[in-house]
Amino acid sequence: MRTAPTILHLDMDAFFASVEQASKPSLRGKAVVVGGLGPRGVVATASYEARVFGVHSAMPMGQARRLAPHAAYLVPRFTFYRSISERVMELLRALSPLVEPLSLDEAFVDLEAGQMAWDERSARLAGVKLRADIRAVTGLTGSVGLAASKMLAKIASEEAKPDGLVVIEPGSERAMLAPMSVRTLPGVGPATGDHLRRAGITTVGEIVEAGEDELVRLLGKAHGHGLYAMALARDDRPVVAERETKSVSVEDTYDVDIHDRTRVGLEVQRLAERCVRRLREARLSGRTIVLKVRRYDFSTLTRSETLRGPTDDPAVIREAAARLLESVDTTGGVRLLGVGVSGLADYTQEDLFAQAAGERTTARGPVEERVATPAEEQPALAERSWPAGHDVRHAEFGHGWVQGSGLGRVTVRFETPSSKPGRVRTFRVDDPDLEAADPLPLVSREPDGGGAASGAGDHAVSSVPASLPKSWSGSGGGAATSRP
């Protein structure tokens, strides 16, 4: 491991929800939940105001509505989020050629490779400048962790949230980790954490005390060895820039084992849909469908099926995942499910659906049948063209966003990122003066030399903070974070 905290981890704060608050003045400081709004929708991101009520990502949207009934519930604007993410990634690449994006709102940076840092002070200065630049360019906040390894940098950024910076000084790692919950370590979800708790292990220090052999006995060889190394703060993984995507996958770990076979099947179908969305966002397709099942006893099974050619057809991938599930015994309960696609390509094979369901006539017919709407339901189709939270423009009232729609009406709040909270008006869904619009920039001007950003509501920040954030002390194991 390194002798200086020159690996940086950036995690944007409640990214999707923060973008929505920055672009909608009336939502600033209020609970905002972004995700699928249908009966099987899940939360993608919740603002910190919504998290106070217990709402969190991956939660069923119905549960979120019960916990925070007065929150604003919005449909994601992934194209807009991606455009903002690209601006942030440009700032990271200005620091180093070694930037490893993990998602739209998260990445590792090797500051040493960019000659931006070589010791604790230079690393801290780079982190402070990055946070100021992000706010100036996007109007948003991000939390930064700095450490000598990727694992510790990620832990540091989590401790820095929201809108902070934490440095873990080399030599203090073991003392810092010891009192932390086992859930702090990567790969320790609710199920693994509960398994360790039943064995009397609740902190990272107790993992070290238990010893490697006991971890292997409890969790298996690979997981046990890996978890013990992490508890000792051992992590030599390099930051890998722009690595080629070899597969696209999604998985969920469940707080309580799923025993109902029907529920397992529904979860697999939901995961297949999410996997398809990721494929399409990346403009990819794949020919090998993979199902992952971790059972009650921590045994993990994978099943795969290779098609004749690549596809991004949701019906094909759902049916393949369902067939793979038929070969898996889920008796006793399921802790984790995952669906993935590998063998990636940037094109699709149009007739794959006939392969997946030979009795059907065409590749496109079944998909159209799934989404087609009878003539008598055309008004409902028009309503669905106005997703909550998306941008619109009215010929008379200007730019706004959809608060909601139904019963042939659409309600719009007219405001922009740089305006005061706007007024609300309701129109017929077929009003000829109302049309979909592109999002407006969150910041009205570019930064001039790292100055304050405008157009971000109450979020104005100086490029030079009054004081630098303090590091974690190896002796105390506590943390001090910067909150400019």
Q: Which sequence positions are flagged as catalytic? A: 106
Tokens of 402: 């959809």
- Phi/psi for 194 (5° steps) reads -70, -40
**Calpha distance 177→159 (Å, rounded):** 12
Sign of the CA dihedral running 59, 83, 450, 9: positive
Secondary structure class of 344 (helix, strand, coil): strand
**Orientation of helix 221-231 relative to helix 212-219, angle to 10°:** 140
Pairing relation of β-strands 391-394 and 7-12? unpaired
Torsion of CA 113, 115, 116, 119, to 10 degrees: 90
Please give the single-letter amino acid code of residue 196.
L
Please give the single-letter amino acid code of residue 278.
R
Sign of the CA dihedral running 321, 323, 327, 332: positive
End-to-end CA distance of the chain: 31
Pairing relation of β-strands 106-110 and 99-103? antiparallel
Pairing relation of β-strands 423-428 and 434-436? unpaired
**Orientation of helix 314-326 relative to helix 261-281, angle to 10°:** 140
357 close to 319: Cβ distance less than 8 angstroms: yes
Q: What angle do CA 387, 391, 396 make, to 5 degrees?
A: 120
**Calpha distance 230→235 (Å, rounded):** 7
**Calpha distance 248→214 (Å, rounded):** 34
Give exposure, 327-365, as e/b (b: 16+ Cβ within 10 Å).
Answer: ebebeebbbbbbbbbbbbeeebbeebbbebeeeeeebee
Secondary structure class of 15 (helix, strand, coil): helix
